[in-house]
Amino acid sequence: MQNGTTLNQFLIEERRRLGGTDSDLPALINDIAVACKRLSYVISQGALVGVLGSAGSENVQGETQKKLDVLSNDIMIEAAQRGGYLAGMASEEMDDLYPIPAEYPKGKYLLMFDPLDGSSNIDVNISVGTIFSVLRCPEGVTNPAVADFMQPGTQQVCAGYALYGPSTLLVLTTGHGVNCFTLDHNVGEFVLTQPNMRIPEDTREFAINASNARFWEKPVKRYVDECVAGKEGPRKENFNMRWVASMVAEVHRILTRGGIFMYPRDTKDPSKAGKLRLMYEANPMSFIVEQAGGASSTGRERIQEVPPTGLHQRVAVILGSKNEVERVVAYHKEG
Ligand code: P6P
């Protein structure tokens, strides 16, 4: 597909390519895209429409919810629940799964999402995003339970993110490469601007929250120390560091110019396997990164093969340029 193709035109082609089994998937993607367009507008209005600041509540993660966290969750639910493509939803902002109300038809997919990733940045006007993952609901299940969502990332049929930055972007995969669309505000359409995105296998740019250095496990500390040692160190190359505190922005930078993003397991809270959530952050981003030729690991196993045990399960995340991720994995093997 060439640049300038609209998302609608792309999804018509997708429907032809996907054929019978997943013929409803393009229509579900379109519903998600409508939610992202609405979110793009609300986020761009910010203080003008009084959506900044705290909602005065906490989510299941124990994190203070921003007004926009709650609003973005509502926008996604409202856009996705009516179409008849879903059997259920789950979100970072909801403790339990969201069953499709009886007044709407049910469908064959399960949608999991982080409606506003990086929301701690919203009040300081730094890029935030929406991340989503689509699974098939088990055959014959019309009222899915949490157990029906407990499928490894390899079972995803679609994953994507919207990035609300200087431009609003929608990045998608259905297992046949990664395509990036830019929202044309003049016509309200997402337009294909970066077809078939590929991550360079090598990089000299790493992303990690260095304030956690004292908690890192040895392999991560070894990798970062070698990057920081630069030309004088074992890598014999200088490295750059970035940390936006918005996973969507980090992943998009990596898709665009390479890099490695790490939110590893650490000793800060030994009870947690990591900070990021498997089902609606790590798995969808891993699907996208691998489809673009990158790699994604906990350091000890491929993220998409981690067996889920809960909707809000946390996991260590090391993803990006293939050769750098493999180096960090090798360091974990060496101990
Ligand atoms: P920290 C945002 O809250 C998020 O889930 C990711 O988008 C981001 O990469 C990470 O957490 C930032 O974490 O500890 O730097 O605030």
208, 268, 275, 278: residue to mutate for ligand 1 pocket, most atoms within 8 A of CB: 275
Mean pLDDT of 217-234: 98
CA of 313 to the centre of ligand 1 (A): 15
Atom of ligand 1 nearest to the CA of 244: 9
Inform me whether the pLDDT recorded for 60 exceeds 80.
Answer: no
In a domain, 240, yes or no: yes
Q: Which two tokens stand for residue 41?
A: 């507008």
Among protein residues, the one with the nearest Cα to ligand 1's atom 3 is: 118
Q: Which residues contact 239 (CB under 8 A, 6 or more apart)?
A: 204, 205, 206, 227, 228, 230
CA angle at 209 for the pair 257 and 307, rounded to the nearest 5°: 80
Q: Where in the sequence is the domain holding 270, given as residue range(s)?
A: 205-334
Q: What pLDDT, in 10s, does the model give residues 137-152? A: 999 999 999 999 999 9
Inform me whether the pLDDT recorded for 287 exceeds 90.
Answer: yes
Report the pLDDT value the prediction gives residue 294, as an integer from 0 to 100.
98
Cα distance between residue 249 and residue 60, in whole Å: 24
Report the pLDDT value the prediction gives residue 49, as an integer from 0 to 100.
81
Q: Which of 163, 194, 225 is the last residue of a domain?
A: 194
Q: Indicate the pLDDT class of residue 1, thresholds 50, 70 and 90.
A: low
Atom of ligand 1 nearest to the CA of 209: 15
In this structure, are 256 and 155 located in the same domain? no
What is the three-class DSSP state of 261? strand
In this structure, are 173 and 285 located in the same domain? no
In this structure, are 103 and 161 located in the same domain? yes
Report the pLDDT value the prediction gives residue 174, as an integer from 0 to 100.
96
Q: Which two tokens stand for residue 178?
A: 């990664």
Cα distance between residue 259 and residue 298, in whole Å: 16
In this structure, are 264 and 120 located in the same domain? no
Mean pLDDT of 227-253: 98
Q: Which of 194, 214, 232 is the last residue of a domain?
A: 194
H helix or E strand, kind and range, residue 108: none
- Concatenating the DSSP letter of every residue in 143-199 gives S--HHHH---GGG-SEEEEEEESSSEEEEEESSS--EEEEEETTTTEEEEEE-S---
Q: Are 119 and 62 in contact (CB under 8 A)?
A: no
CA of 79 to the centre of ligand 1 (A): 26
In this structure, are 80 and 183 located in the same domain? yes
In a domain, 161, yes or no: yes
In this structure, are 286 and 150 located in the same domain? no
Least confident piece of the model among 9-13, 66-70, 196-200, 230-234: 66-70
Report the pLDDT value the prediction gives residue 62, as an integer from 0 to 100.
76
CA of 118 to the centre of ligand 1 (A): 6
What's the whole-number average pLDDT of the chain? Answer: 95
In a domain, 2, yes or no: no
Q: What are phi and psi of 92, to 5 degrees?
A: -55, -30
In a domain, 247, yes or no: yes
Among protein residues, the one with the nearest Cα to ligand 1's atom 15 is: 245
Q: What pLDDT, in 10s, does the model give residues 167-218? A: 999 999 999 999 999 999 999 999 999 999 999 999 999 999 999 999 999 9
Cα distance between residue 13 and residue 26, in whole Å: 9
User: Is residue 27 classed exposed, middle or buried when 0-12, 13-18 and 19+ CB atoms within 10 A define those classes?
Assistant: middle
247, 254, 279, 313: residue to mutate for ligand 1 pocket, most atoms within 8 A of CB: 247
Mean pLDDT of 42-51: 87
Report the pLDDT value the prediction gives residue 55, as an integer from 0 to 100.
82
Report the pLDDT value the prediction gives residue 212, as an integer from 0 to 100.
97
Q: Which of 143, 174, 194 is the last residue of a domain?
A: 194
Q: How many domains does the chain have?
A: 2
User: Is residue 124 classed exposed, middle or buried when 0-12, 13-18 and 19+ CB atoms within 10 A define those classes?
Assistant: exposed
In the structure, which protein residues have their CB atom closer than 6 angstroms to any atom of ligand 1? 117-118, 120, 209, 245-247, 263, 275-276
In this structure, are 121 and 80 located in the same domain? yes
Q: What pLDDT, in 10s, does the model give residues 6-46? A: 999 999 999 988 878 899 999 999 999 999 999 999 999 98
H helix or E strand, kind and range, residue 127: none
In this structure, are 212 and 189 located in the same domain? no
CA of 318 to the centre of ligand 1 (A): 14
CA of 244 to the centre of ligand 1 (A): 8
In this structure, are 189 and 212 located in the same domain? no
In this structure, are 225 and 328 located in the same domain? yes
Q: What pLDDT, in 10s, does the model give residues 83-95? A: 999 999 999 999 9
Report the pLDDT value the prediction gives residue 48, as an integer from 0 to 100.
86
In this structure, are 32 and 158 located in the same domain? yes
Atom of ligand 1 nearest to the CA of 245: 12
Inform me whether the pLDDT recorded for 63 exceeds 80.
Answer: no
